[in-house]
Amino acid sequence: MDNSDKERPGRVSRRGMLGVGAAALAAVGVGGALTGCGSSDEVNPSATQTDPTDAIAEANRKVLDAYPFSDTTDFADADRGFLEALQPGVIKDDKGKVVWDTDSYGFLRGSCPSSANPSLWRQSQLTIKQGLYEVAPGFYQIRGLDLSQMTLIEGDTGVIVIDPLISVETAAAGLALYRKHRGNRPVTGLIYSHSHVDHFGGTLGVTTREDVAAGTCPVVAPSGFLEHAVSENIYAGTAMARCAAYMYGAALPRGEKGQIGAGLGQTTSVGTVTLIDPTVSVAKTGEEHVIDGMRIVFQITPGTEAPSEMNFYFPDRRILCMAENATHTLHNILTLRGALVRDPHVWSKYLTESINLYARQSDVVFSSHHWPIWGTDKIVDFLSTQRDLYGYLNDQTLRMLNLGYVGSEIAEQMRMPPALEKQWNTHGYYGSVSHNVKAIYQRYMGWFDGNPAHLWEHPPVDNATRHVDAMGGANAVLKKAQKAYDDADFRWAVQLTNYVIFADPDNKKAKDLEASAFEQLGYGSENATWRNFYLSGAYELRNGSFGTPTAANSKGLLAALAVDQAFDAISLFVNGPKAWDAKVTTDWKFSDNDDRVHRAELRNGVLIHYDRWPDDGLPAPDATITLTRGGFIQNMIGGGNMQDAIAKGDIKVDGSMAVLAQLKGLFDKPDPNFNIVTP
């Protein structure tokens, strides 16, 4: 190929290097379900935190020359329609715990320090704006009171709420601020745009189960919503929550050398998560519903930013909601906290459909993050740019994949078209070109790149021990790592020090050097989640684990589990080797579900479960347990005491009481505090 010399490993885009040579980091320019931190006093900053090196300060200075900082259109749009901020910008739960603290980000009003990428600083200055905004007559948004935005639409008799934030407390505070200006309108409809917790967790802050049950507040969601909302947050919830603590900088202090945002919003609230089952399921594009007199046309977009998601159009008002499918950032194909890999090809196609069906007939577009855009031509341009962004990443990754390049090589070589690079909304504040390319490779090719040398590598500790030994021991490796740090080759410095730490976990010199290198990488990153990961790793190396700041599986989500989902979740706790020889059969009779009987068989280390039917001829169980669905979830997953419930008569057991103790003894308890940067 004529241009093959442009695609050799080691060639990095201008956006990736910005003229800093080998010292630069992939996170400068290439941009690289959910926990968070309510206030900045969760931890104390380490006294040994490093200052930015000259190389990072220079890299950040060059960002100012690379991008159009004189363009203030986004700031004007973010301020448009402002009515009032929440004062003070602190929200507490009923016990006085701070669950959200906008005021802790006051330092962002100042000029960008050398310890932050100016592009990310600019994004955080935009996302920190908070309060009540009027988008159009009768359309209002609560912004800056959680990771997401809550939209309120006035109908004939009340107000329709779209995406009620993460926490009951933040949603209630937002609704109260709206009512302060627009009166005490009842909530006459609730719409979940998709299945991520920042779009449904605050449900009981805006409505009640009684109103939903009475039909005065229909709850609308895309088909498959409940299944995906629960499964993503429960099945791998502990591991995801621990990694999300890094991703959102949950335990980092706020400040110029700490957490300055998350790109999509500032961070996540840490209040009470709730969920009410949808009463209306939207199954196809073009489906129309009228809620409190407001006509809404829906576009189903599964497999885009969430496995269950939808956009919607208000034809009588020429207003379009894009859920989270088009925001002012490059989004994630695979989030750093973990999730199912998304499909950028179908994402791009659905954005084309949005443009052709709705954008050309729209005067306003808003999403459930960031700020709206006004004007038909601007809307079409914005959605077209977002569409081209995901389409280009998908197509070019596959092109290079089919030339034999692996994900890490493609990520280093990928350069976005100049027309996309110059648009602020394509920058990798939340997702990144680098890790999105690797995710696309993973989607099509999996973890294995085809090289047999990578087929059966040693696990991290064994791998590190062999590397350190091959390089002459820890001291020799640390000398090389120090030289890499001094040369501003921070990526190599962290790789070398990581070997030493995993071979010798008590090596303080290695930990301090890796923490310093992590800090430099964080200071230079345009991507907020990369910055938070780097700085969280540095913090834990210096101060020890901060664990998972919030519960991985909230009671509100657990309560929404169907019986089958609850058994699926429990099956993941079985310690297979311990249960190899166990054979236990139990029947679970649910008194609040027409005495439904669900059988569970533990055999060969696997928990199999299925519904029983009358006269099915199955052998008798070792025990039959009669209880409610809620009692089952609370006592088997939610931390309740089964024996106490039996003693109180809430649970009845016919057969062997020892069976329950035997089962419990074969379950592992997930660890929300597992190590990440140390073995």
Q: What is the pLDDT of residues 572-598, one digit of tens each?
A: 999 999 999 999 999 999 999 888 999
Is 309:193 a contact under the CB 8 Å cutoff?
yes
What is the DSSP secondary structure assignment for residue 176, as one 8-state letter?
H
Question: How large a percentage of the chain has pLDDT more than 70?
Answer: 92
Specify the pLDDT at position 63. 97
Specify the pLDDT at position 661. 86
Identify the weakest region by mean pLDDT among 16-25, 40-49, 122-131, 464-473: 16-25
pLDDT per residue as tens digits for the range 373-401: 999 999 999 999 999 999 999 999 999 99
In the block, residue with structure tokens 């311990």: 578
User: If you average pLDDT over residues 51-62, what whole number do you get?
Assistant: 97
Band of pLDDT at residue 516, cut at 50, 70 and 90 = very high
User: If you average pLDDT over residues 245-255, what whole number do you get?
Assistant: 91
Band of pLDDT at residue 552, cut at 50, 70 and 90 = low
Specify the pLDDT at position 440. 98
Distance between terminal CA atoms of the chain?
45
Q: Which helix (H) or strand (E) holds 515?
A: helix 508-524
pLDDT per residue as tens digits for the range 418-456: 999 999 999 999 999 999 999 999 999 999 999 999 999
Fill in the amino acid letter for 469: D
Output the average pLDDT for the chain. 91
Is 162:191 a contact under the CB 8 Å cutoff?
yes
Query: 597, 588, 670: which is closest to 637 by C-alpha?
Result: 670
Cis amide linkage into residue 88, ω under 30° from 0: yes
Band of pLDDT at residue 41, cut at 50, 70 and 90 = very low
Contacts of 476 (CB under 8 A, 6+ apart): none
Band of pLDDT at residue 638, cut at 50, 70 and 90 = confident
User: If you average pLDDT over residues 472-486, what whole number do you get?
Assistant: 98
User: If you average pLDDT over residues 526-537, what whole number do you get?
Assistant: 97
Exposed/middle/buried for residue 638 (C-beta within 10 Å: 0-12, 13-18, 19+): middle
**How far is the C-alpha of 213 from the C-alpha of 239, rounded, in Å?**
35
Which token pair is 545?
A: 């684990």
Which token pair is 538?
A: 């540095």
Residue 144 has pLDDT above 90, yes or no: yes
Query: 536, 557, 656, 607: which is closest to 244 by C-alpha?
Result: 536
Specify the pLDDT at position 553. 62
Query: 476, 474, 485: which is closest to 518 by C-alpha?
Result: 485
Band of pLDDT at residue 81, cut at 50, 70 and 90 = very high
Length of the chain: 679
**How far is the C-alpha of 418 from the C-alpha of 32, rounded, in Å?**
18
More reliable by pLDDT, 334 or 556: 334
User: If you average pLDDT over residues 653-671, what whole number do you get?
Assistant: 89
pLDDT per residue as tens digits for the range 326-373: 999 999 999 999 988 999 999 999 999 999 999 999 999 999 999 999
Band of pLDDT at residue 474, cut at 50, 70 and 90 = very high
Question: How large a percentage of the chain has pLDDT more than 90?
Answer: 80
pLDDT per residue as tens digits for the range 497-513: 999 999 999 999 999 99
Residue 44 has pLDDT above 70, yes or no: no
Residue 46 has pLDDT above 70, yes or no: no
Which token pair is 541?
A: 């190396």
**How far is the C-alpha of 557 from the C-alpha of 545, rounded, in Å?**
26
Specify the pLDDT at position 47. 52
User: If you average pLDDT over residues 451-465, what whole number do you get?
Assistant: 95
Specify the pLDDT at position 293. 98
Specify the pLDDT at position 103. 97
Identify the weakest region by mean pLDDT among 397-401, 518-522, 558-562, 659-663: 558-562
**How far is the C-alpha of 132 from the C-alpha of 145, rounded, in Å?**
10
Distance of CA 660 to the CA centre of its chain: 36
What are all long-range contacts of 597-604, with beta carbons under 8 Å and residues at least 24 apart?
A: 597/624, 598/563, 598/564, 598/567, 600/567, 602/574, 602/663, 602/666, 604/580
Task: Please state the φ and ψ torsions of residue 295, each to the nearest 5 degrees.
Answer: -80, 130
Specify the pLDDT at position 577. 94
**How far is the C-alpha of 386 from the C-alpha of 499, rounded, in Å?**
39
- 3-class state of residue 290 by DSSP: strand
Q: Which helix (H) or strand (E) holds 500?
A: helix 490-503
Specify the pLDDT at position 547. 84
Is 253:45 a contact under the CB 8 Å cutoff?
yes
Specify the pLDDT at position 551. 61
pTM value is 0.90
Specify the pLDDT at position 559. 81
* C-alpha to C-alpha distances, 567 to 202, 225, 572, 599, 613, nearest whole angstrom: 26, 19, 9, 10, 18
* C-alpha to C-alpha distances, 116 to 51, 113, 445, nearest whole angstrom: 11, 6, 35
Residue 676 has pLDDT above 60, yes or no: yes
